[in-house]
Every structure is written in C-alpha cells, then in structure tokens.
Structure 1
Amino acid sequence: MTMRSLGLSIYPDHSSFEDNAKYLELGHKYGFSRIFMSMLEVQGSPAETQAKYKKIIEYGNKLGYQTFLDVSPQLFDQLSIDYSDLKFFAEAGAAGIRLDQAFDGATEAMLSYNSYGLIIELNMSNNVDYLNNIISYQANTPFIYGCHNFYPQRGTALPYDFFIECSKRFKKFGIHTAAFVSSQVGKIGPWNVEDGLPTLEQDRDLPIDVQAMHLFASGLIDDVIIGNAYASEEELKALSQVNRYQLMLHVDYVKQISNIEKTIVEKPQHFRRGDMNEIVIRSTMPRVTYKDIPNPPHDNSEEFQRGDVLIGNDNFGIYKNELQIVLKPHKEPRKNKIGSIAKDELFLLDFIKPWTKFKLTSK
C-alpha cells in the first residue's frame, strides 16, 4: 500500500510570493508534503513564467514538498514547450505535471519516459477507458499518478458513486491517487468563481477534516489536497490530526460517563464483528479485556438513536463492557449511553463493514 499524504494548493498568478511562502511554512509545520500548483492561467513570457514558478517551487522543495504543475495543451503552445522535452518543468523544480486534458494514450505513455524523471499525473474524474489505453502503450507505470478534478461551481462536483467508479479504474493498476477537499475560508482558486474547491459535491460544506476522512475511508485515495487557498491554521491542524489509515470518529460524551467507559472508548483497537447485524456495530473485545471492572447503569432508559455510543452495564451479564454504536433506534436498559458520534461524521458509519477496524476519540 502507498503511504498517504496531505497537500495544499497555491496559485502564483493570483497571489504574492510572500503569502505563498508563509502558507507553505505553515503547511510544513503540520506535516503537509505536496503542492498542487495551477499553470492554467499564466501571464507573461516563458522566461518570466519559469522564474516566477521556480522561485516558489524551490522554496517548497527546501521544506520537503513535491510540486505538481497543472498544465493544458494551450499552455504548451503558449510557452512553446515541446512534449518530447519537459525541461521547462524540470528546471522549475517540479516533481511532476498534471495533464488537465487527455491526449491519445501514446503521448501520455511516451511522456512517462521523460528523461527528467518527472511524474505524469492524469485527470481521474472521467469514467472512460483512458487509463487502460495509456497502459496498453506500455507506459512507465511508476511514473504515472492520478488526481481528480476540483469544482469551483456549487452543484457541479462529482457524486460519490461516480467518484468510486472513476477511482477504481486507477487503483486496479496500483496507481497513486489524489483528490481535493475544500477550505471553508479559502478564497483563491484558478478562476473568478469560487464556491469552494472539492472533488465531491456532498463534501463541499463539511468541516475540512470530515471531508478528508471521507476520501481516505473510500480506500481509493492516497493523497488529500486542499483545493483552495488559503486554508486557516485551524483547518491545517485539523487535517494533520486525521487518521489516514483507518476511520477515527469523534464522540461527544454524556456528563455521567465513567473512567472505565472512557477507557473502553479511547484505548482499544475497535473492529466490527464479522457476523454483523443491522441494529448496532459491535466491538466485542472490550467485554473480554474489561470483564472484571464494574459498570453501574446510567443514561439507560431513553430510546437510543443512530450514532449513539453504548456500553453494556452491570446488568448485562456476559455483555457487560461491550461497546456498540447504534444504527437503528431501540431501547435497552442494560446498555449505558456514553455519548454520540459527532453529527457531521454520522454518514461515515456506512463505511464500517464486518471486520472494519476503527478508532474512537473524544471531540
């Protein structure tokens, strides 16, 4: 499995070097390691353009970032760059180029053998046989990556099922993948419309860390990139705390929660029992680990709702101290409600399948 990372975006044609440098430093502090940089809207001569981009890319390189430049066929014409020689991008310090538009398959395959070792990143947001075509031209697959689009206009980003179909085409070949989340405060993108810059429409208004949890939970995305600039320090920090390899949901506790219940929530490696049911997600190991520790009843008389986190109390015999997350409302006085999954994260319960590993932590 590929290691997963976090990225951010900068737009040198809509911002100053100083602001971008400051943003990269902040991202570096929170463990960000890749940069998406749009070259779709450059102004100026090839020499001026290269100098401007090189300055900020080299600054990023010193901080340990990899930069991918988003390019189009028009850009190659505008800057008189030949596909057979990607020297312009290599000299600017880039790690790779993202082809915003498709060629004929043979071209992309040939580009993957460029003499500078530049990664060729393909647009993933199309459910067509594009990738198969490129691979069939014997592409240099370690140098082929995939990256979804982002969508500045509200209502135009990808629906989830379509996103899954597109992404599976790339993961089938073991290709490194990326997709975008949207800052709720960033105002800078490539165009003059900016309603956020996510890949998934349903994520557009969610907190940024929940968007990232959603992309990672799909199991099909390696790198999560913030599409718009500039995200706030709070957002960068929240993203840095996302568990990239398993779902870690946040629990809002009830007042009466006991120490043993808090331990049962936060300490174990939870996994859903393989013989699943429709009423609750069961994490059964805590009842074994903590079987001798008393757990008096509290918050046990109401009807439990979807997302409530329950732990068996002293009246539940062998099931005492088993942890459950409610999927369908029910009543059961032998279980204590100890909290609820954060409201924005409730939809992520659908990703917890039989044997899925997950963690819980307090909000």
Structure 2
Amino acid sequence: MRPKIELGISVYLQDFLDDRPATRQYLDTAAELGFHEVFTSIHLPEDDFLKTTAALRDFSELVANKGMHLAVDCSSHELKKIQANAALQEALKHSPVTYLRLDFGFQPADLRAITRDLHIHGFMLNASTMRRTEVKEMVAALRQFSHTLAIKACHNFYPRPETGLGTDFFIRQSACFKDLGIPVAACVPSHNKPRGPLHLGLPTLESHRGMEIDWAARELIATGVVDEILVGDPFASAQELGKLQKAADSPVLVVRVIEDEGVSEAERKIMYGITHVVRPDLSDWVFRSNSSREMAAMGEKLAARDAKLRVPCSITIDNEKYGRYSGELQIVRQELPADERVNVVGRIFPQDICLLRYIAAGAEFRLQRYDGA
C-alpha cells in the first residue's frame, strides 16, 4: 500500500483581488475534495508587490477558515522589503501563514531573523535548485532554531516550454531531501485556465506540460519521492481536481492499455480483474504477473489466436498451448518473435510507457482499458 499523498492548489494574490467570490468557490471545491494546502507567491514580476502583499492577510485568513494551510513563495529580495516596511511586517506577522517557501537568496542567518520577526512556523526549501551539501547545512541550521519548526521541500514549476526538469534529475534532487526525512512536493499543470503570461501550464517535469493532470500525478507518485502534489496553475476545473484526487487515492500503479481486436472476455478478466504482482525473479525480456495464472486456473481455457510479433510494451497472455503457463500475463520489455503459444492482447498506451520504468520486482500494478477519453 502506498503512503498517503497530500494535495494542494495554487491561488495567486492578484487573482484573489480580481475575483474574490471565484476564489472562495475554488477553495471550497478543493477543501471538499480533501485538498489541504494552498500555494501563493509574493515575488511574481508581473504583479504589484505592495498591492498583492497587502492582500496577504485577508487571503491567509480566508484559507485558514477553510481549514487549509498556506504556503507563500518568496525570495530574499521580497523578505528584505517586508522587513524594511513596518506595516507589511506587522501584516505578515499576524497572517496565518503556515510556510514560507524560500525560492532563492537565503542564508541560515537570514532565517533566524525571519523566524523571530515574522512569527514563521515552517519553511519550504527549493527542491529543484539546492545541492545536497546546501540542503544538509540549511536543515541543520533550521533545526537548531527550533525543534518544532516544520520543514518541507517544494520543486519549482516552469512556465516556459523546454525548461522543466527531466525525470532522472528530479528523482536525484528529491532524494537529497527524502534522505533527511524532509517531505517533497512537486507541481502538475491544469489545462482549464493556464496561468499567464505564456498560458502553457506550470509543471515541474517538462514531460508533463501537455499531459492530463491525473496521469502527470500518477508518474510523480510512481517515482516514490513525492509526498505532495500541487496544481501549479490557478482555477483547475472541478473535474480535474476530482481526477487528481482519484489518482492520489489509488493504492497501486495504474497503466492504460489499448486492446487488440478479438480479445476474449476470459482474457479481459485476467487483464483488468486483478491487481498484478511482478514476480520477484525479474527477467530482462518481460515483466511476468505472478497472480494472473492463479486467476486463469479458475476460468475457461484460453484458446490460441493468430501469433504476432511481440514488440516492446505489448501485453501478452499465454494460451492453452503453453500448458501450465496458460493464463500468464506479461508486459514485453524487448522485442520477441511471434509464438503460437502466446496471445498478444494489447499494448501500453503511449503516454503511459514512461510508467514502466517504475515497475520493479514485487511491484503491484493494475491495467485499465483505454477508452479514448
């Protein structure tokens, strides 16, 4: 069983100022679906700093009244402005902000003063840019300030195409924090109202930019290094939030399948009717389901069909000509020749091929028929 994944949304202060009723409704929808965190920022170059920061107290109280936590993104530049402005400092001191997200430019000594002067109870570190040695030093310093100080890490999102993180780098960076017991958050895009000025989505991983919100989330969860998923864009649709909640609540990895023609009901039961467990003795050529033959043994014999070349990412089920192996489901990893004892029943949906890298010995997964939606 996977650990619980926390969920959050983003609401930017200018959007709050422009349409408070819509913001309240969005927070209500997210809270009802079990989202617990709200992300905002006070260092967006396109926003009026004084105007949006002055709105932070009202917004933070609204978030708190919904029973949600607020994380405020900032750089050292904005914090120095606040510390130099008595009115802004007083407003932030009395705002129910759960976390300050430290984008860049901070030293441990700065954070001691911020903790004292602004009554901050938690910090989010930048999971995308800090090096392992910097992480260790910062975490050690923060824990010296207070043993009750909450610490998380949150990755950047990337408005410009071609600048988002690659998966391998993302996993390595996240491990710098996970190894110290620091929870890690990452962002997925919404396609309902992508945020300007580019309106091209706000993902952490570049490969997620055009991806549906729930399937982007499924890959983040599959990496095993993410504890929280934030929707980077504001005002995701209720349907998107519902899909994201469903993905986060899924106990196992789900992979979509495009069926071949002529698949029998007996084969469908094997494909979709059980949670598959990968055998512990992993093969380089196929992923073998340890549970599929047990199910097949309780049903009808599987008739042979036309043999086909087994290309990578094909789904196959051994037929009755394979004797005691009849009913074994496999996902093909390397090209294999056609075999009259093996029925090719489908192939992994192209967008989900990336998920196969997370299937390991003993891993659980379920197959889901792709219906074009």
Q: Do 1:280 and 1:328's aligned partners in 2 also have CA atoms closer than 8 Å?
A: yes
Change (3 A) 1:271 1:112: farther
- Give the drift of 1:112: 6.3
- Residue 68 of structure 1, CA deviation: 0.7
Whole-angstrom CA distance in 2 between matches of 1:161 and 1:109:
34
Q: Which residue is 1:284 aligned to?
A: 290
- Equivalent residue number for residue 197 of structure 1: 202
Q: CA deviation at 1:2?
A: 6.0
Identity across matched positions, percent? 27
> CA-to-partner distance for each residue in 1:238-295, whole Å, 9 max, x for gaps?
2222145532112233453333333322333322112111221111222124314223
Asked if 1:156 is matched to 2:163, the reply is yes
Over 3 Å counting, the alpha-carbon distance change for 1:28 and 1:263 in structure 2 is: farther
Equivalent residues of 1:298, 1:337 under 8 A apart:
no
Q: Identify the residue that residue 173 of structure 1 maps to in structure 2.
A: 180
CA distance in 1: counterparts of 2:58 and 2:178, whole angstroms: 34
User: In structure 1, how many angstroms separate the alpha carbons of the residues matched to 2:306 and 2:152?
Assistant: 51
Q: Report the alpha carbon displacement of residue 172 of structure 1 after superposing the two structures with TM.
A: 0.4
Q: Taking structure 2 as the reference length, what is the TM-score of the superposition?
A: 0.85
Change (3 A) 1:30 1:255: farther
Instruction: Kindly indicate whether residue 211 of structure 2 is the aligned counterpart of residue 211 of structure 1.
Output: no
Matched, 1:35 2:38: yes
- Tell me if structure 1 keeps the 8 A contact 2:75–2:106: no
Counterpart CA distance in 2 for 1:104 and 1:357 is 43
Which residue does the alignment assign to 1:329? 335
Matched, 1:266 2:269: no
State the Cα distance separating 1:141 from its structure 2 match: 7.3
Matches within 5 A, 1:80-91: 80=83, 88-89=91-92, 91=94
Q: Deviations over 1:190-232 (max 9, x none)?
A: xx34432111122222222221112111111111111112323
Contact map agreement 1:157 1:201 (CA 8 A) in 2: yes
Verify the 8 A CA contact 1:11 1:188 in the aligned structure 2: no
Rounded to whole Å, the distance in 2 between the matches of 1:329 and 1:33 is: 45
Rounded Cα–Cα distance in structure 2 between residues aligned with 1:249 and 1:265:
11
Deviations 1:126-147 (A, max 9, x none): 2512211123336147611100
Q: Distance in 2 between matches of 1:70 and 1:271?
A: 41
Contact 2:267 2:302 in 1 (8 A): no
2:238 to 222, 233, 244: 233
C-alpha displacement at 1:82, in angstroms? 8.8
More moved, 274-283 vs 101-110: 101-110
2:47 paired with 1:73: no
Contact 2:155 2:185 (8 Å CA) reproduced? yes
Matched, 1:122 2:125: yes
**Residue type of the alignment partner of 1:359:** R
**Gap regions ≥5 residues in structure 1:** none
Distance 1:112 1:259 in 2: 62
Instruction: Tell me how far apart the structure 2 counterparts of residues 258 and 150 of structure 1 sit (CA, whole Å).
Output: 44
Does structure 1 retain, via aligned residues, the 8 Å contact 2:100–2:120? no
* Kept after mapping to 2: 8 A contact 1:112/1:144: no
Query: What is aligned with 2:139?
Result: 135
The amino acid that maps onto 2:365 is: F
The count of residues paired between Structure 1 and Structure 2 equals 358
Q: What CA distance in whole angstroms lies between the structure 2 residues aligned with 1:112 and 1:96? A: 11
2:354 to 336, 347, 354: 347
User: Do the aligned residues in 2 keep the contact of 1:300 with 1:334 (CA within 8 Å)?
Assistant: no
1:111: Cα distance to partner? 5.5
Equivalent in the alignment of 1:92: 95
1:298-350 C-alpha deviation (Å, 9 max, x unpaired): 55422233222222222221111111112223222222233322221012111
Q: Distance in 1 between matches of 2:345 and 2:363?
A: 22
Q: Is the 8 A contact 1:212 1:239 kept in 2?
A: yes
What SS does the corresponding residue of 1:187 show, helix, strand or coil? coil
Q: 1:317 aligns with which of 315, 319, 323?
A: 323
Distance 1:125 1:86 in 2: 28
Superposed CA RMSD in Å reads: 2.9
User: How far has the Cα of 1:170 moved from its partner?
Assistant: 0.2
> Which structure shows the higher helix fraction?
2
Structure 1 position 358 matched with structure 2 position 365: yes
Which amino acid in structure 2 is aligned with residue 35 of structure 1?
A: V
Which of 54, 58, 65 in structure 1 is aligned with 2:57?
54
| Preserved contact between residue 249 and residue 361 of structure 1 (Cα < 8 Å) | yes
Quote the residue 1:22 is aligned against.
25
- Structure-1 separation of matches of 2:109 and 2:208: 35
Segments of 5+ residues of structure 2 without an aligned counterpart are: none
